[in-house]
Structure 1
Amino acid sequence: MDLEQLAALRTPEGVTALATATGLAGGDPLAAAATLRSAGVPAGLAAAALTQAELRRRAAAKFGPDAAGMFFTRAGLEQATRAAVAARRAARLRAAGVDTLVDLGCGLGADAIAAARAGIRVYGVEADPVTAAMAAANAGAAGVADRFTVALGDATEFDVTAVDGAPADAVFCDPARRSAGTGRRIFDPAAYSPPWDFLLGLAGRVPRTVFKVAPGIEHRLLPTGAEGEWVSVDGDLVEATVWSGPLAAAPRRATLLAGAAVHELTGDGTRRAPVGPVRRYLYDPDPAVVRAALVAEFAGTVDGTLADPEIAYVYADTPAPTPYARCLEVVESMPFSLKRLRARLRELRVGRAEILKRGSALEPERLRRDLRLAGTEGISLVLTRVADAPTVLLCRPVPIPEHASPIR
């Protein structure tokens, strides 16, 4: 995609071609291209329309109905913040009194659009001309072009202290975390674009700075006094965010988004949960809770303990409704032995097994093949360590009554 192709897609002919391509997205690409060509659409415009239609189809999982009117690049879509996460962040910024926000490296505009919808005036900065043009088009499609403007430029050179003659209330940055050449994920923050040192310096210059990072970020890298927030959507860990200055409300936070519900667990990330034996119920914490190092805080909500101090399975005597973990009943516990486990599952007539693991080197799919399950019953197998010994727990899910109030 280049600027000429983007402009062509926004002409009446391009809009028609894109509408036709949208109806063909997800099918045979060769047949779709032939359909567009037979309708008299030039080859270049047909290719651009088909690419956008397919990206919009994929983007629906992140953006819902809004995706149908947006423009995307492949790399931009991969990094773009999910709409629910961006809306939650925007609401938090607005609640903190942010009226103007600079979005350094705004990409396709997902976060900026969410902030603008929350009533914040957003100034976006984007180095790639095509991406910047798409962000501006997306702002128009979202109806927030009056509150979100995009400037073409280098994020590291933009003066955040002189936006319309005054410093911005806050700065947001979502650095690129994929290689420009290969598209591979970048795990070293020093190799982000802008790099980690720039982000730290930015937090030092602007009191209210927020930047998005990979969920695997090491806690020791976070600035002193900053808040590290890990976010999951329907149990899928999607990102981490660093909040600095007055925006830092707690040392560590796990935010769980599930439909319209939002659950937050906070703490300092240094507590250690008590250690004890395997008990009747096992809680498997949400990955945001684990990555935020808030397992001990969660364990306290269910009167739980760990069976191994380094493994984030929490054990308790009673089941309790909680948004922060899945609950399983431990039916049986045994030292791991493939032969013994296979024999026991045969006795129980198990033919279906969900396999969970923490602290085990075993590969679940390889184990599944080795078990040669042939029965009619189902079971959950938990591969873990207890007192540093390889252990397998035979479990079954615990249904929580719908009317029960979740622990908060």
Structure 2
Amino acid sequence: MPYSFSPSDVAFLRSAEGERALAACAELPLTDKTRIADVETARRLVGEHASAVLETVVLRRKAAWKLDRTDWLFTSDALQQASASAVARHRASRLAGRDVHDVTCSIGADLAELAKTARRCLGSDVDSVRLAMARFNCPDVPLALADALHPVSRDAVVVADPARRDSRGRRWRPEDFAPPLDQLVEAFAGRDLAVKCAPGLDWSGMSWAAEVELVSLDGTVREACLWSEGLATAGRRATVLRDGTQWTVTDRDPDDIGAGEPGEWIIDPDGAVVRAGLVKHYGARHGLWQLDERIAYLTGAEPPPGVRAFRILEHGAYSEKSLRAQLKRREVGRLEILVRGLDVDPDALRKRLKPKGPAEATVVLTRIGRSPVAFLCEAVRIP
């Protein structure tokens, strides 16, 4: 169970004494083997707040892969739900120059980025402990203890990130969010509203959301954002953040591609593009076409820049016997298997194929029409 911070814990951690305690424990290894000794050391150095200090040290280490700032205060759940800094920065850029109220600001991960671009910015939350942490993390932003369902601002753009976890695990239904999504929308009727959600959310019945944006970071789809009519610039959008670069494709882009014979390459579009239903729009932008109109793989003579693409070496009807022979002939021992449109378990198939040899390859398994097809490929990172 994650540690439950108390108000006194946060007050201590925000103090000069707390900063010294965190510095004293920052170098403890905190591994499974050293945990007992580390706890004893922390208790000797820190006293009654040892658990809060150790939890903060652990959470700061976990934050390093996600957030630009690792000297903040966190709870475990708040860190888990917080937007990665790059994603929060992108969302903030869409609200530059506006008055913005983050009504579920939690520990302030989104709020910190919003404050950099907004004309004026306000944060509020119903959780007093997280709000106290936000006061430490975002010292220059006005904060209020307030329920998101009872507005304490007027006119500002409302940004919300409803909680999607409780003690029983993840909540999947919008009505089970905290606050419930339908009640949140009703509370801010007539206001510009942006709501961060999980990327797997079914948004099809949310008529208030004029735009759905899927955002990926370094190849992983991180979240969806629902934008109300006053903020929308498209119906569906995929935004891809990778290696400090950014590009986007929307349903307003051309989508006039069809399906055809395999080209020289196979391209597996970014997950944000696939989840946003924009595979054809992405393909049209880069002169690609589909192998099958119902499958998200694209093909063409030249891959787009900045992607990992698959140069086709051989292809034909899929059977394990023929695929095993191809791998043996090419002495493939390191094998990546990608599957779309077929009921095939890549890990189980790899065990049955028993690849052996110094070479490496990627196998793309899919179907064209009703026929299963195997593509033996070389994976290439396109600059």
Q: Smaller-chain TM-score range? A: over 0.9
Q: Deviations over 1:130-184 (max 9, x none)?
A: 11111111112xxxx2xx222112111224xxx3xxx233111111111x222x2
Which runs of structure 2 are paired with 1:45-84 in the superposition (5 Å)?
Answer: 45-64=49-68, 66-68=69-71, 70-84=72-86
User: Equivalent residue for 2:235?
Assistant: 251
Query: Which residue, 265, 270, 275 being the options, matches 1:291?
Result: 275
**Bigger mean CA offset, 122-131 vs 215-224:** 215-224
Determine the C-alpha separation between the residues in 1 that align with 2:14 and 2:35.
22
User: Equivalent residue for 1:108?
Assistant: 107
Is the contact between residue 229 and residue 240 of structure 1 (CA under 8 Å) also seen in structure 2? yes
Q: CA deviation at 1:281?
A: 1.2
Determine the C-alpha separation between the residues in 2 that align with 1:122 and 1:176.
21
Q: Residue type matched to 1:10 in 2?
A: R
Q: Are residue 194 (structure 1) and residue 197 (structure 2) matched? A: no
Q: Are residue 150 (structure 1) and residue 152 (structure 2) matched? A: no
Q: Residue type matched to 1:188 in 2?
A: R
Alpha carbons of 1:254 and 1:26: their partners in 2 closer, same or farther (altered >3 Å)?
farther
Query: Which residue, 128, 148, 155 being the options, matches 1:168?
Result: 155
User: Equivalent residue for 1:4?
Assistant: 8
Alpha carbons of 1:102 and 1:19: their partners in 2 closer, same or farther (altered >3 Å)?
same
User: Equivalent residue for 1:308?
Assistant: 292
TM-score under structure 1 length normalisation: 0.87
Give unpaired runs (5+ residues) of structure 1. 403-408
TM-score under structure 2 length normalisation: 0.92
User: Equivalent residue for 1:32?
Assistant: 38
User: Equivalent residue for 1:405?
Assistant: none
Alpha carbons of 1:26 and 1:252: their partners in 2 closer, same or farther (altered >3 Å)?
farther
Is the contact between residue 289 and residue 298 of structure 2 (CA under 8 Å) also seen in structure 1? yes
Q: Deviations over 1:282-322 (max 9, x none)?
A: 11101111111110111112322212222100011x11333
Q: Match of 2:170, SS?
A: coil
Percent of aligned positions that are identical:
36
Q: Compare the two structures and name the one with the higher helix fraction.
A: 1
Give unpaired runs (5+ residues) of structure 2. none
Q: Match of 1:380, SS?
A: strand
Q: Match of 2:79, SS?
A: helix
Alpha carbons of 1:267 and 1:25: their partners in 2 closer, same or farther (altered >3 Å)?
farther
Which runs of structure 2 are paired with 1:199-348 in the superposition (5 Å)?
Answer: 199-202=184-187, 204-206=189-191, 208-223=192-207, 226-268=210-252, 271=255, 273-316=257-300, 318-323=301-306, 325-348=307-330
Q: Match of 1:343, SS?
A: helix
Q: Match of 1:382, SS?
A: strand
Q: Deviations over 1:380-399 (max 9, x none)?
A: 01121111222221111235
Q: Residue type matched to 1:181 in 2?
A: S
Q: Residue type matched to 1:187 in 2?
A: W
Q: CA deviation at 1:38?
A: 3.8
When the two chains are superposed, the root-mean-square deviation of aligned CA atoms in Å is 2.0
Determine the C-alpha separation between the residues in 2 that align with 1:111 and 1:71.
14
Determine the C-alpha separation between the residues in 2 that align with 1:22 and 1:384.
49
